């Protein structure tokens, strides 16, 4: 990877992946793209920033050609809950955006990273130890776009030799940028509420256990997969990766160890609850461990401690 384009750079993953890639590959070699949200000064940090919609293939191709991009981290997409409210728009952005990226990659010989999700599974997938290769019948538009995205990336590799690689991310917890429109967003919101009000009203049921990961591990996973030796990869797209599995009740109990007055109540949102109920509780990520050395650093305890420490500084609560 010499010249890297990151789409969706202002989002939850993008805002941290950009900084990590910049540290590793140099400011001048990172081109960041956002659309709806303005980038912070920290995010731009001397890199070239462009504002464009990934559905605009002409602009995308021009950026890739002008900057001689050879690798694309394609993060721009609508998340599960917001997609359920705007299914046609979600399909348009998630699928046509990806198709434009893959076409550009084919034309300009770029590698592509595509983040899939636990959303690529459905209710008839085994929820415990969810295998790498298993039934994928999601019943959300987000999940359908993710499983289609995995297949499309595989197709571009087989048919055109495009170096596509991707992960199935679980819910991601981070302090720099809020998630937005996802089903697992509660696991970020809860920290802000715990610190500011010592109380959180959760939109998922207390025992809804899902795979989760702290952002530093998510960022490392993306970079390590893209740098992995091609000869070792039996899979390419949709690698299961997980770091922990917890429910709102379990997360609240861990936060309470640090904020003893913290309490949680539940006001369940039926749309997000139905989505969560169709997702795995714990994926088997052995393929990622064996094929490119996946190994997460953060478990629940370490993550909660780090999140609280970082947010205390961010929110000036000391």
Binding site for ligand AKB (CB under 6 A): 79-80, 117-119, 169-172, 179, 182-184
Catalytic residue among 142, 169, 186, 200, which?
Answer: 142
CA separation for the pair 208, 264 (Å, rounded): 14
Closer residue to ligand AKB, CB minimum distance, 182 or 238: 182
CB of 198 to ligand AKB, least distance (A): 25
Closer residue to ligand AKB, CB minimum distance, 60 or 172: 172
Judged on CB neighbours under 10 Å (0-12, 13-18, 19+), 133 is: exposed
Judged on CB neighbours under 10 Å (0-12, 13-18, 19+), 317 is: exposed
Closer residue to ligand AKB, CB minimum distance, 117 or 240: 117
Q: Which helix (H) or strand (E) holds 133?
A: none
**Terminal CA-CA length for the chain:** 41
Whose CB is nearest to ligand AKB?
Answer: 182
Residue 142 catalytic? yes
CB of 196 to ligand AKB, least distance (A): 22
CB of 45 to ligand AKB, least distance (A): 25
CA separation for the pair 215, 229 (Å, rounded): 23
**How far is residue 276 from each of residues 224, 268, 312, measured CA to CA in Å?**
28, 11, 29
CA separation for the pair 202, 115 (Å, rounded): 26
Closer residue to ligand AKB, CB minimum distance, 211 or 291: 211
* Close Cβ partners of 244 (under 8 Å, ≥ 6 residues apart): 211, 212, 213, 296, 298, 299, 300, 303
CA separation for the pair 298, 311 (Å, rounded): 17
Closer residue to ligand AKB, CB minimum distance, 70 or 185: 185
CB of 188 to ligand AKB, least distance (A): 9
CA separation for the pair 141, 93 (Å, rounded): 12
CB of 194 to ligand AKB, least distance (A): 20
Could you list the active site residues? 142
């Amino acid at each position: 990877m010499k010249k890297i384009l990151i789409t969706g750079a202002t989002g939850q993953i993008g805002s941290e992946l950009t900084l990590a890639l910049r540290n590793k590959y140099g400011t001048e070699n990172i081109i960041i793209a956002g659309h709806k949200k303005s980038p912070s000064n920290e995010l731009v940090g001397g890199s070239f920033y462009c504002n464009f919609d990934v559905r605009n293939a002409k602009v995308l191709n021009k950026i890739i050609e002008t900057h001689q991009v050879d690798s694309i981290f394609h993060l721009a997409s609508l998340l599960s809950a917001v997609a359920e409210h705007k299914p046609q728009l979600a399909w348009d952005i998630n699928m046509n955006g990806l198709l434009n990226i893959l076409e550009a990659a084919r034309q300009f010989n770029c590698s592509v990273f595509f983040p899939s999700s636990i959303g690529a599974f459905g209710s008839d997938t085994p929820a415990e130890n969810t295998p790498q290769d298993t039934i994928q019948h999601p019943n959300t538009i987000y999940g359908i776009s993710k499983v289609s995205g995995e297949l499309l990336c595989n197709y571009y590799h087989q048919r055109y030799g495009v170096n596509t690689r991707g992960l199935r991310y679980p819910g991601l917890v981070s302090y720099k940028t809020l998630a937005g429109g996802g089903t697992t967003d509660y696991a970020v919101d809860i920290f802000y509420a715990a610190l500011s009000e010592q109380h959180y009203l959760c939109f998922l049921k207390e025992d809804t256990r899902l795979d989760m990961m702290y952002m530093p591990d998510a960022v490392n996973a993306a970079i390590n997969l893209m740098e992995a030796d091609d000869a070792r990869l039996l899979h390419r797209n949709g690698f299961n990766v997980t770091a922990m599995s917890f429910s709102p009740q379990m997360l609240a109990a861990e936060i309470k160890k640090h904020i003893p007055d913290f309490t949680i109540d539940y006001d369940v949102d039926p749309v997000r609850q139905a989505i969560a109920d169709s997702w795995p509780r714990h994926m088997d990520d052995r393929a990622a461990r064996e094929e490119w050395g996946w190994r997460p650093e953060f478990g629940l305890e370490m993550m909660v401690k780090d999140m609280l420490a970082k947010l205390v500084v961010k929110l000036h609560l000391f």
